[in-house]
A and B are shown apart, each in its own frame.
Chain A
Amino acid sequence: MPKAKISPVTGRYVTIEVDGDEYKVFYLENGTGQPIVCQHTAGCHNHQWRGLLEDEELTQNYRIIAYDLPRHGKSDPPLNREWWKEEYKLTADFYTKFIVTLCDALELERPIFMGSSFGGNVALQLALRYPDRFEAVIPVEAADYSPGFYLDWWHHPHANAAQVCASGVWDLMAPQSPDKDRWATWFYYSQGSEAFKGDLYFYSVDHDLRGKLDQIQGDKVKVVMLTGDYDYLTTPEDGRRTASQIKNAEFVEMVGIGHFPMSENHEVFRKYLKQALDMIRTAKA
């Protein structure tokens, strides 16, 4: 009998409390060393990080932790509240508090935080609000402000929300990314349509760091921004402009990739991620 291929990635639940609400949070992890905490994109889940979680080189030196935000993937909405009686709108206050509480629960000391899209925007918020809590942040496809995507189309009852959400973000990916990975990303998006719009309340409305970027203590928390050249929502120009206003921040334009680099083309993304991690290591030294 051939030996089964069993992944080294493990999945666990941890229960945490944020603002009096109880959340049972699902996370995947693999590797040893400095923790890198990974946030998926809006309306998605942690499987977007599947390439990084199984990256044999990077997991030798880093403990990769990818969680599902509540209401996404295997993390339910709050356990002890009638959440269905209010419209879901993700805010920067809750989002940042949730991430820090999760890192505390997992007893992570000065982790690196990395997220893409609304996860990239919250990385900037974390750098501003919790400079002592993180070694560095890697905002991927992020900007100080990213309006224009809090759209009613995501919930229109006369359209197939799963298809609109998944196909609406299709051309956020680069056409040269492998078909199988673009379609996997599409598939993830077809699963998360109910949370998508509420997530985008944070992405396009509540998140606004214009005029505040100079308050980020870039000497305490290193900021390395990565943006793909096929991202029409947060373009390389947006990333470059944002990084230029943060002390000690770096910006890297990723060529031939879009808004979901980790899931649409891990092989291309990992080259840029290694570059970002080198920058963080050098800054630490």
Chain B
Amino acid sequence: MTIAADQWSTHFKETNDTNEELNAHGKFFTCSYLLDMETKKFLIQTHAGKIEKITIDPDPLDHYQFAIRASADTWRKFSQPTPPPMYHGIWAASFKRDMKLEGDLLVLMQNLRCITTQLELLRVVGVPV
């Protein structure tokens, strides 16, 4: 069963904002990025480790710094509690599957630890695709 996008957004934000690791290390985790899940897109705006805003299917001119794009199938596998090999991280899925990292990758690299942690929360909340 696929969770509705608005419910997912609320759950993802709550899970992120109460995550102990991000609370401990996210002081400078401020950026905006697009999660492109093929059939749904989400613009995630993070400030000091908390999710400030999630825009569902943003408009074409909405600004973000980098994008992480993959098929809905890849995101579904990525978000399993124990993902299968090659779907277990953004590097693995970019090297070996259809994930693409685009835009200002310096911002991604500057926030790599927190982004990694934030995306692993998908294994708790699932994905809406």
Contacts and interface: CB of A to CB of B under 8 A. Distances in A.
A171 B90 contact: yes
Contacts of A163: 112-113
Interface stretch (B1-9, B50-58, B67-75, B78-86): B78-86
B82 A175 contact: yes
Contact of A232 (B92, B106, B113): B92
A178 to B, nearest CB: 13
B113 A159 contact: no
Interface in B10-57: none
A239 to B, nearest CB: 13
Interface in B87-129: 88-92, 95-96, 106, 109-110, 112-113, 116, 123
Majority DSSP secondary structure for residues of B touching A: helix
Majority DSSP secondary structure for residues of A touching B: loop
Contacts of B89: 170-171, 232
A236 B87 CA distance: 15
Given A148-B95, A158-B106, A176-B82, A171 B88 contact: yes
A259 to B, nearest CB: 10
Contacts of A171: 88-92, 116
Listed residue (A170, A171, A235) with the most chain B CB atoms within 10 angstroms of its CB:
A171
A279 B56 CA distance: 56
B91 A159 contact: no
Contacts of B85: 174, 229-230, 232
Contacts of A232: 85-86, 89, 91-92, 95-96
Given A167-B113, A229-B85, A230-B86, 12 more contacts: A158-B110, A160-B110, A163-B113, A167-B112, A170-B89, A172-B92, A174-B85, A175-B82, A175-B83, A176-B82, A232-B91, A232-B95
Interface of B: 82-83, 85-86, 88-92, 95-96, 106, 109-110, 112-113, 116, 123
Interface of A: 148, 153, 156, 158-160, 163-164, 166-168, 170-172, 174-176, 229-230, 232-233, 235
